[in-house]
Homo-oligomer: A and B are copies of this chain.
Amino acid sequence: MGAAMITRFDQIAIDLPRPRNPSPNSAAAVQELLGGKFGEMSTFMNYAFQSFNFRGRSKMRPFYDLIANIAAEEFSHIEIVSYTINLLLTGATKRGSDPTATPLASALDARNSYHFIASGQQALPMDSQGNFWTGQHVFSSGNLKLDLLHNFFLECGARANKIRVYEMVDDPTARAMVGFLLVRGGVHIVAYAKALEKLTGVDVGKLLPIPDISNKRFPEAKKHEDSGLHRILYQFSPNDYTEFNQIWNGEHPEDGSELSVQPASNEGATPPDLDEEPQLTAPLGPDIDHQMFADVAAKLGDDVKRRSARKRAKTAASRPRR
């Protein structure tokens, strides 16, 4: 009844540097990597549904485990892209509670008006043109070979999009995020290539890189590859999905390094504490009931104390488990 299908941790994949400046149009471009046809919503949802839907899994366990495990990683990717967008939008308009000061004037010419009207300078599951992600982007034919081919293509398409957004945006937050995702998405490309190879004997990995430009040309990706991050598929479950190691093994098709499986760790980065935007009443407006707010604040004060105490204690505690 009360079992967890997922457990969640209040952390993000990497430390995100703060943007040099707020940049609404950069945030708008980055949306493609979140809610575009080839964005992280697509990879997350494709693999989640393929894992729910996998028929005959008892006979084909390693393939099921591979897809199900990668799905788990993708959740963290919609999260990290969302935080990047949020950071790029933080402070993008004039702070304050007086609406007559036209605090959102700068939004008038911004690429994506939903960031300022529908959201409080925050990410939404839409693409760089403000078109919303749709379930039509999920492919789940039930035929394993076709689904794997799809996933391989999807990841290559996603890679092309990441490269292009990188080339549009020179903001360090965005580039740190894209660099990291080029590497992790690269792992998924290889994983699906390996799966196709196990199934058919064709060395699909030799097609890589697609597009034909190496991750090594992106400093923010290269640093991760230099430390071997492109060789590791993490296991996002304490005990389950273990058989994908029958697929994720051998050599990396691009640099010949040895592939390895590792358990996911509990050493994530702290999520940014996103600043308030009072002109957007985010999170509260100036006319919140004052007595009520004071009461809530009092409790929160207590919490802050408790939280600090807990944090100190936490370092020793184990998180996922192992």
Contacts and interface: CB of A to CB of B under 8 A. Distances in A.
10 contacts: A5-B268, A25-B109, A55-B120, A75-B75, A112-B129, A113-B128, A143-B280, A212-B281, A217-B287, A246-B303
Interface residues of A, number: 181
A257 interface: no
A10 B243 CA distance: 12
Given A76-B5, A131-B130, A321-B7, A125 B53 contact: no
Interface string A156-195: 1100110111111110000000000000000000000000
Sorted from nearest, which 7 A-B pairs have the closest CB atoms?
Answer: A120-B142, A125-B135, A142-B282, A3-B268, A212-B285, A5-B76, A132-B135
Interface in A94-126: 97-100, 102-105, 107-109, 111-114, 116-126
Contacts of A285: 143, 145, 209, 211-213
A5 to B, nearest CB: 4
Q: Which of A111, A156, A283 gathers most chain B CB within 10 Å?
A: A283
A319 to B, nearest CB: 6
A320 B168 contact: no
Q: Which of A4, A28, A201 gathers most chain B CB within 10 Å?
A: A4
A229 B8 contact: no
A256 interface: no
A143 B55 contact: no
A133 to B, nearest CB: 4
A102 B167 contact: yes
Contacts of A132: 134-136
A248 interface: no
Contacts of A52: 78-79, 82-83, 86, 122-123
A171 to B, nearest CB: 10
Given A264-B2, A267-B3, A285-B143, A238 B58 contact: no
Contact of A8 (B1, B55, B240): B240
Given A6-B72, A10-B68, A161-B117, A200 B292 contact: yes
Given A116-B164, A164-B116, A168-B104, A287 B125 contact: no
